Amino acid sequence: MTRRSCAIYATGIVCAHLLILGIALLVAQVFQTMIQERIKKEITLAENSRVLDGWINPPPPVYMQYFFFNVTNPDEFLAGKEKPKVTQIGPYTYREYRPRENVTFLENGTKIFATNPKSFVFLRDMSVGDPEVDRVTTVNIPFIAVMNELNSYSFFLRSFVSMWMGSMGIEVFMNRTVHEVLWGFKDPLLSKLHTMRPEVDEHFGLMYNKNGTHEGEFVFHTGEKNYMDYGKIDTWNGISQMNWWSSNQSNMINGTDGSVFHTFLSRKELLYIFAADLCRSIHLGYVADTEVKGIPAFRFAPPSDVLAPPDENPNNAGFCVPAGDCLGKGVLKVSVCRQGAPIVVSFPHFYQADDRYISAIDGMNPNEEEHETYLDINPTTGVPIRACKRAQLNVILKRVPVFMSSLLPSEYHFFLFKKVICFLLNFQTATIDDESAAQMRTLLLIVTVVSNFPVIIVGLGAILLVILIFLVCRNQPRANKQTAIYGSKLV
């Protein structure tokens, strides 16, 4: 046997083995299953110190950007001559730090306890001005809260309190610095109430006493028992179900806190997030494939039915408190967990809300690009690599009849009925940093190579098959020539 023939036979044998082995591994999905099980095992909070460290100290920088709606025509609006006109000012940007503390494993590592204190540092270079200097005319929320509370009192008491507030010069709108509105100031109305009711805090601020504090005590699932439960909230402040809303379904604490999700996400999934500031869980649906710093991701965003009224989404009936007292599409009344203040949450500029809210205020310009909330999540690891949480705070102004109203200033003769006035936007953004992105790209490359190892084997077998065919074809003319010469000699 010639050297060429040996090469052909050897190539054929190796080719056959590679093709058979590669096809068998593809059909059995041995490597795909192995890498999936390995990732599921690695990405748990109980066993992997690297994952735990990243969970305790999240690497992506988080920025809170606050925008204010400055009311430009408060007098005309209160007189009933014009609808409110607002201009958006901001952003005032703060770096948010949110390390987890008091981390303790429970139930043999299947659950983990933690608190999540948040602190904020002002970033001048990412802001439009100085929050301690810039002023804004906005709704006087302490005043509105007191007027709202008066509904449960007699006409005489409402009349007395109204005249008392009028004599103090307290009005529906206030003009304060951005820093005061955010981080707190000593309010004259609350100070007066504090002298009569010491439990009433004299200070008011949207973020008052929230710098350095946490939103509650959480117990999370580590994913040790079931990788699908990775990061899900088991209890919050010792409860597994809230009692604010009017149905059991609405009171459920579903999903994670939005920082982690289980591995191998599907486009068909609904992801649930519990938002303590919204006092409820919300769901997000798949929107599109995207890419962040070279990392593939699925974009998930809240669909329009998240804040839809019960006639469009019956599951939302429980968020009407008291039962049956519902607002329109795109807004959620969160008074039940905001100490009675008539606060309403929506997406910025009433994005996805009823047109009546948008048209009631001059200055609303909702659009998806600027006002949508979304998460970009790598589906293999379940890690959010870009997040943008956008929300708007509003207040409800409604008629509060008072005795002898003709003697009171016009601003207390509320012509409004469930008029929703916007006053603050907050955008929370986070994008994976370059170092973490490089590490994830390396991990995903290894996963891709190992998962596709059977394909690589089949590919090598296919290449050898082409080489085999080439060698056979090249050897064929010489074989024919040798046969012809041998035949001629016989003749």
pLDDT attached to residue 454? 65
Confidence class of residue 160 from pLDDT cuts 50, 70 and 90? confident
Mean pLDDT score of the chain, rounded to an integer?
Answer: 82
**What's the predicted TM-score (pTM) here?**
0.82
Domains of the chain by residue range: 3-37+446-471, 60-432
CA distances from 447 to 200, 385, 452 (A): 57, 18, 8
CA-CA distance, 392 to 346, in Å (whole number)? 5
> Residue 148's pLDDT is what?
75
User: Whose structure tokens read 């909702």?
Assistant: 366
Distance (Å, whole) CA 183 – CA 209: 7
Instruction: Please give the average per-residue pLDDT across 36-57, as a whole number.
Output: 67
pLDDT in tens, 418-475: 566 777 888 888 888 888 889 889 888 877 776 666 667 667 767 766 776 776 777 6
Q: DSSP states of 334-360 as a string?
A: -GGGTTT--EEEESGGGTTS-HHHHHT
pLDDT above 80 (res 12): no
Residue with tokens 């599921």: 40
CA distance 244 to 429: 29
Q: What percent of the chain has pLDDT over 90?
A: 42
Name the pLDDT band for 491 (thresholds 50, 70, 90): very low
Q: Which of 149, 177, 173 is nearest to 162 (CA)?
A: 149
307: tokens are 């804040």
| Residue 251 clears pLDDT 80, i.e. is over it | yes
124-126-129 Cα angle (round to 5): 55
Name which of 39-48, 119-128, 237-246, 408-417 the model is least confident about.
Answer: 408-417
In this predicted structure, the answer to whether residue 389 has a pLDDT above a threshold of 50 is: yes
Of 110-119, 124-133, 471-480, the range with the lowest mean pLDDT is 471-480
- Say if residue 328's pLDDT is above 80: yes
pLDDT for 34 beyond 70: no
Q: What is the predicted pLDDT for the residue at 108? A: 86
Q: What are phi and psi of 437, to 5 degrees?
A: -65, -40
Strands of the 217-221 sheet, one edge to the other: 101-106, 111-115, 217-221, 233-236
